[in-house]
Amino acid sequence: MNRKVHIKTYGCQMNEHDTQRMVDMLREEGYTPTDLIEEAGLILVNTCSVRANPENKVYSFLGALRPQKARSPELIVGVAGCVAQQVGESLLAREPLVDFVFGPDNLFRLPEMIEVARQGERRCWTDWQPWEGPVKEFVPEEWVEQGHVEGFKAYIAITKGCNNYCSYCIVPHTRGREVSRSSESILREAQGMIERGAKELWLLGQNVNSYAASPDYGFYELLEELSQLEGLLRLRFTSPHPRDWHNRLADLMAASPVICKHVHLPFQAGSDAVLKVMGRRHSRQDYLDKVRYLRQRIPQVEISTDLIVGFPGETEEDFQQTLDIVEEVRFSQVFPFKYSVRPGTKAAELPDDVLREEKESRLARIIALQDSINEAAQEALIGTEQSVLIDGPHPRIAGRWNGRTDGYRAMTVLADKLQPGELVMARVMSARGHWLQGEVLTADS
Ligand code: SAH
Ligand code: SF4
Ligand code: F3S
């Protein structure tokens, strides 16, 4: 039997993390991952349905597999992730080459699903799991002991699902209700990862800061406990929601040398009228107040964001208020998206009335503004000292090493020999596009 597996992943870090879990499970079953799709006997595609664009890519990907399936009928093809959860059974009808379809809640059954597929049964596995207990341990015990460490980085899912139902968003429909794991399980997973070489942990959740193991143990308490783990160099989290962002989180970040000074805090829209229809449950001013406090407590903090242009009913004046926030906050990164209708969401009932050209022009205006802000911000960092966690050597230039600053800016440094996972202090000498360039500071420099 061909036990080479190729996995294609779309979407967010939660999906990347789910893919890591799949790889681990399949290794246990004797599979080896391959980048070469043609040599695989098992192909999995982990899908994203947050916008039409990533969803359409899934169908093109599957279409392109037809010749391979025709050549090797024993090839098994499985579709995972958010598109799978959402469209379920109909994917089997639409794409005859697909052997099985499964949602994120069924991930842990992967070996069983493959077995059923090998026996020739085409099946859809999208039922929700009950996850027993008051805190829902959605990460199986074997995984807690064997958390996936990639080099020196590791992801930990602390919550799954989302209860916010922002009107445009498909995620609550594909990932289900929000569930938090116990802190005991998370801490044990983190500890094991550090013992196996993790130096940087990323806490993941669709709305990571609404984590709540009990009424008096929430995201703050968890972050505080994790930040004290021996051997951990950096702690990051994504994505927090502005409504659940409390100023004491900024206080905690300011006091901790381990919690990185970077917050990815999506604001989505600058106008209160649009925010209301989006169901974000925070105002423009709430957002700006929280950002102001963050900056006051941590002057060097880097803030990044997501936003949507062309939401139903968004006028030029509404859009101006989005531009104003981008101008005022001076984000380190902005991820702007054109509104995309997601069938089944509340906003899908509204007319998608901002013309495509108008959405494109608004997107271009955001990008141009952010580019100029970023250029100035990068220039302003020249001469500063940054701590850089090294990812690895520059792919082409010897003597250069790539890494990330505490604030999550990409930085390349000159040095003879460094190790991935090494933390160095470096002085920024120049800036080019999204990259800072610098020199490692030795003890006496
Ligand atoms: N949980 C995260 C967002 C996850 S989706 C949060 O609430 O912050 C990632 C981003 O995709 C969102 O922040 C939003 O900007 C964008 N997005 C989600 N649904 C969208 C849609 N229907 N059209 C366009 N962009 C969308
Ligand atoms: Fe979607 Fe809103 Fe939940 Fe984020 S908070 S995943 S945008 S519903
Ligand atoms: Fe996409 Fe699902 Fe993540 S819709 S953004 S893969 S939660």
Give the atom of ligand 2 at the shortest distance from the alpha carbon of 175: 6
Same domain, 356 and 299: yes
- Below-70 pLDDT ranges, the chain: 132-134, 443-445
Q: What percent of the chain has pLDDT over 70?
A: 99
Which of 9, 19, 174 has most ligand 3 atoms within 8 Å of CB, for mutation?
174
Distance 122 CA to ligand 1 centre (A): 32
Q: For residue 306, which ligand has an atom nearest its CA?
A: 1
CB-ligand 2 contact for 91 (6 Å cutoff): no
Residue 273 CA to residue 412 CA, distance in Å, equals 43
Distance 240 CA to ligand 2 centre (A): 10
Give the atom of ligand 3 at the shortest distance from the alpha carbon of 175: 7
- The two structure tokens encoding residue 287: 């957002």
135 falls within a domain: no
Same domain, 260 and 309: yes
Asked if 61 contacts 95 with a C-beta cutoff of 8 angstroms, the reply is: no
Same domain, 366 and 393: no
Distance 307 CA to ligand 1 centre (A): 8
Give the atom of ligand 3 at the shortest distance from the alpha carbon of 82: 2
Q: For residue 267, which ligand has an atom nearest its CA?
A: 1
Same domain, 372 and 412: no
CB-ligand 3 contact for 226 (6 Å cutoff): no
Same domain, 61 and 147: no
* pLDDT tens digits, one per residue of 397-424: 999 999 999 999 999 999 988 999 999 9
* pLDDT tens digits, one per residue of 342-385: 999 999 999 999 999 999 999 999 999 999 999 999 999 999 99
Domain extent for 424: 385-443
* pLDDT tens digits, one per residue of 229-260: 999 999 999 999 999 999 999 999 999 999 99
pTM of the model: 0.96
CB-ligand 2 contact for 264 (6 Å cutoff): no
Same domain, 205 and 351: yes
Domain termination residue (choose one: 66, 93, 125): 125
CB burial readout 411-423, b (16+ within 10 A) else e: bbbebeebebbbb
212 falls within a domain: yes
Distance 50 CA to ligand 1 centre (A): 7
CA atoms within 13 A on the CB side of 431: 16
- Using CA of residue 382, residue 383, residue 385, residue 387, what is the dihedral sign? positive
Residue 383's Cβ-count burial label (10 Å; 0-12, 13-18, 19+) is exposed
Distance 185 CA to ligand 1 centre (A): 29
Which of 12, 15, 48, 50 has most ligand 1 atoms within 8 Å of CB, for mutation?
50
193 falls within a domain: yes
Check residue 135 and give its pLDDT.
75
Same domain, 366 and 433: no
Same domain, 120 and 162: no
72 falls within a domain: yes
Number of domains in the chain: 3
Distance 306 CA to ligand 1 centre (A): 7
Check residue 129 and give its pLDDT.
87
Same domain, 191 and 288: yes
Asked if 407 contacts 332 with a C-beta cutoff of 8 angstroms, the reply is: yes
Same domain, 183 and 39: no
Same domain, 411 and 362: no
The values of phi and psi at residue 186, to 5°, are: -65, -45
Check residue 136 and give its pLDDT.
83
Residue 166 CA to residue 172 CA, distance in Å, equals 9
Q: What is the CATH number of the domain that holds 256?
A: 3.80.30.20
